[in-house]
Amino acid sequence: MKKQIGERIRELRRKAGYTQSMLAKKLGISPSAIGMYEQGRREPDNETVVRLSHIFGITADYLLGNTTAEKTTGVDISEIFEEFTGKLSTQPGLMFDGVPLDDDDRMKIIDAVRVVAAIAQQQYKRTPGKT
């Protein structure tokens, strides 16, 4: 049976560790729109389908239920950093060397990851031959 687009969006969002609000923010739409997509009460427009495929690193055909293969379209490293920081901020029971992390510790780690990502992005842009 062909999966509906809403089921795929929910499945991919959960697999990536995003809340509906987090995904909505990445897309620049309301969290209720994500909820409506997932419930099958509304379908995303073509631009949103393309943006979702890039966020999740899958083909639009997979998202639309035309194929069962999650062939990637290429994942930007910034998406991986965003996914990681999203999981850091929401994952319960995180520990570092056996010591539980409090919210302040989480924010310090997230800030450090963002600094590393910004440095990497600037370095990549300055490297000759890179576009």
pLDDT at site 66: 82
How far, in Å, CA of 63 to CA of 27, rounded? 15
Distances (CA, A) of 112 to 58, 69, 74: 28, 35, 25
Please report, for the chain, the start and end positions of each structural domain, with discontinuous segments joined by +. 5-63, 77-126
How far, in Å, CA of 84 to CA of 66, rounded? 29
Burial of 88 (0-12, 13-18, 19+ CB in 10 A): middle
Residue 63 near residue 8 (C-beta atoms within 8 A):
yes
Distances (CA, A) of 61 to 50, 81, 123: 10, 25, 34
pLDDT at site 127: 56
pLDDT at site 57: 85
Query: Hey, which CATH number is domain 5-63, 3.90.190.10, 3.40.50.620, 1.20.1740.10, 1.10.260.40?
Result: 1.10.260.40
- List the pLDDT tens digit at each of the 131 positions of the chain: 446 899 999 999 999 999 999 999 999 999 999 999 999 999 999 999 989 988 988 888 888 888 776 665 555 677 677 778 888 888 888 888 899 999 899 999 889 988 888 887 777 666 555 44
How far, in Å, CA of 55 to CA of 32, rounded? 19
pLDDT at site 131: 47
